[in-house]
A and B are shown apart, each in its own frame.
Chain A
């Protein structure tokens, strides 16, 4: 009834900012980045990639509420690079990994032929042309 439209989970509203960068005032070289209309799929992958970067001191994310479709990512760097830059660097690395993987998948798929294309069994165990005729040839319309 009053449930929010499910498409609000992934469609950006009019005038809504997709990304907000909030610099941390108390922690040096740190920023909190709010990414709207994205979930753990993107956030956790970025977090892992950031932690693999030597210049990152801290990286963590949270989805503050499961009904609110955004996550916040907190990054602290060692000062050689800004948190926003290190994030776009991490994105680029991930895109690189994904495209090499894509090429490898393409290769693998071209080697494999589809086997066993035939599904032989009827899941209902009955021929789908119809059930047995009722006994005596009578039905409820005769009553």
Chain B
């Protein structure tokens, strides 16, 4: 558990393109890297079409079909958390310039040819609003020029998104409101189209098992990231204390935010979440300052505590040298606790609460341990805790 704390996290960008960034993150915890991945996918605000009023639709597609397609169109959302407020927080009746982007679509076909209705036909159209306004704000001043417009509009190098095909005599007239949202609410608000995440390309840590007919190495191709790491030697013993150190990311965006903004905003969002938690913890503790939490803890719970707890807590290496029957290991010694709470990388027995990298069967595995039932590890959370 001391593996990552002494090394500074490092990052190396391998490729940066208009819509994607490929980087290698090193010396961080697996949980940390995964949280970064999760936050980039689901916790960054963007704008997307959320309400659609169909004025006329004589196309072959039903209204709800078109409304859904409109919602999926990526809209430019640069600096979204300052440039638009949440519709639910706005003081206006339904929607106003501060909490929504008005867009309209009015296309009819009068030629003898199939006409493609695309995202380029979406027009900024303030007449969609019903003449109301929420509390004054500086949101509109913080917008980029094409904020809320479909990605790649007026850019011939970006092909527009097809909404519907119509023939002569058909028309589509809709009024849309684009609102700010999170991908937790609907995936259309995700700025990422894909986030690739890989670690340990040689499977040295055995976090996965490959199915094979005769030889897994011959049958499973290695990923490109495998070139970054030493292949394992054939005679190399399995290092059960090893932890993943190097994480390969490729963040691909749909264009609503740039890849750089996605990564930076992701890091900021994580910090914001933590800061809010600290704040709330303080607020929660304050009324109880005179209560039990303020003291240094229970008087019975210092080093003299072990006796109270039957099997006893192993506090010295001497205690731990013997297999503690129902004890809590407190020091990094290899023990064979049968039903103990292993707090160190010890092979704690089957019914224990392993806190180290111990192969628990039914205990509270605290990391990297394939706990089958009970408090499982993040990899295998069957019915219990992710410890």
Q: Do A and B bind?
A: yes
Instruction: Give me the interface of A with B, judged by CB distance under 8 Å.
Output: 6-7, 9-11, 17-21, 23, 28-29, 31, 33, 35, 38, 40-49, 51-52, 57-62, 74, 77-82, 84, 87-88, 91-92, 94-95, 97-102, 104-106, 108-109, 111-124, 128, 130-134, 137, 139-141
Q: By the criterion CB–CB under 8 Å, are B13 and A130 in contact?
A: no
**A79 and B168 alpha carbons, distance in the complex (Å):** 79
Decide yes or no: A44 and B34 within 8 Å by CB, A94-B274, A98-B271 being known contacts.
yes
Query: Which 5 residue pairs of A and B lie closest in terms of their CB atoms, listed nearest first?
Result: A60-B387, A48-B31, A131-B114, A28-B301, A19-B280
Q: By the criterion CB–CB under 8 Å, are A102 and B182 in contact?
A: no
Q: By the criterion CB–CB under 8 Å, are A141 and B285 in contact?
A: no
Residue of B23, B30, B43 touching A48 (CB-CB under 8 A): B30
Among residues of A, the one whose C-beta sits closest to the C-beta of B158 is A119
Known: A38-B273, A130-B115, A131-B165. 6 other contacts (CB 8 A): A11-B88, A79-B298, A91-B277, A109-B263, A115-B16, A119-B19
**A91 and B168 alpha carbons, distance in the complex (Å):** 62
User: CB of B12 within 8 A of chain A?
Assistant: yes
Most buried by B among A130, A133, A137: A130
Q: By the criterion CB–CB under 8 Å, are B282 and A88 in contact?
A: yes
Decide yes or no: A59 and B366 within 8 Å by CB, A7-B185, A41-B273 being known contacts.
yes
A20 to chain B, nearest CB (A): 7
Q: How large is the interface on B (under 10, 10 to 19, 20 to 34, 35 or more residues)?
A: 35 or more
A residues within 8 A CB of B263?
105, 109
Summarize B's interface: helix, strand, loop or mixed: mixed
Instruction: Give me the interface of B with A, judged by CB distance under 8 Å.
Output: 1-2, 4-5, 8-13, 15-19, 23, 25, 28-32, 34-35, 38-39, 42-43, 88, 111-116, 118, 157-160, 162, 165, 167-169, 182, 184-186, 260, 263-264, 267-268, 270-271, 273-278, 280-285, 288, 292-293, 296-298, 300-302, 305, 328, 330, 341, 343, 353, 355, 364, 366-367, 375, 378, 381, 384-387
Among residues of B, the one whose C-beta sits closest to the C-beta of A120 is B157
Q: By the criterion CB–CB under 8 Å, are B298 and A104 in contact?
A: no
A63 to chain B, nearest CB (A): 8
**A6 and B74 alpha carbons, distance in the complex (Å):** 20
Among residues of A, the one whose C-beta sits closest to the C-beta of B159 is A122
**A91 and B42 alpha carbons, distance in the complex (Å):** 21
Q: By the criterion CB–CB under 8 Å, are B162 and A57 in contact?
A: no
Among residues of A, the one whose C-beta sits closest to the C-beta of B17 is A116
B152 to chain A, nearest CB (A): 8
Most buried by B among A33, A47, A111, A132: A47
Q: By the criterion CB–CB under 8 Å, are A51 and B274 in contact?
A: no
Q: By the criterion CB–CB under 8 Å, are A101 and B267 in contact?
A: yes
Decide yes or no: A62 and B275 within 8 Å by CB, A45-B32, A128-B116 being known contacts.
no
B residues within 8 A CB of A20?
284
**A69 and B16 alpha carbons, distance in the complex (Å):** 35
Q: By the criterion CB–CB under 8 Å, are A91 and B280 in contact?
A: no
B333 to chain A, nearest CB (A): 15
Q: By the criterion CB–CB under 8 Å, are A42 and B273 in contact?
A: yes
**A58 and B375 alpha carbons, distance in the complex (Å):** 12
A residues within 8 A CB of B31?
44-45, 47-49
Decide yes or no: A79 and B35 within 8 Å by CB, A114-B17, A119-B159, A133-B113 being known contacts.
no
Q: By the criterion CB–CB under 8 Å, are A112 and B16 in contact?
A: yes
B residues within 8 A CB of A121?
159
Residue of B182, B267, B297, B364 touching A60 (CB-CB under 8 A): B364
**A50 and B292 alpha carbons, distance in the complex (Å):** 22
Q: By the criterion CB–CB under 8 Å, are B277 and A28 in contact?
A: no
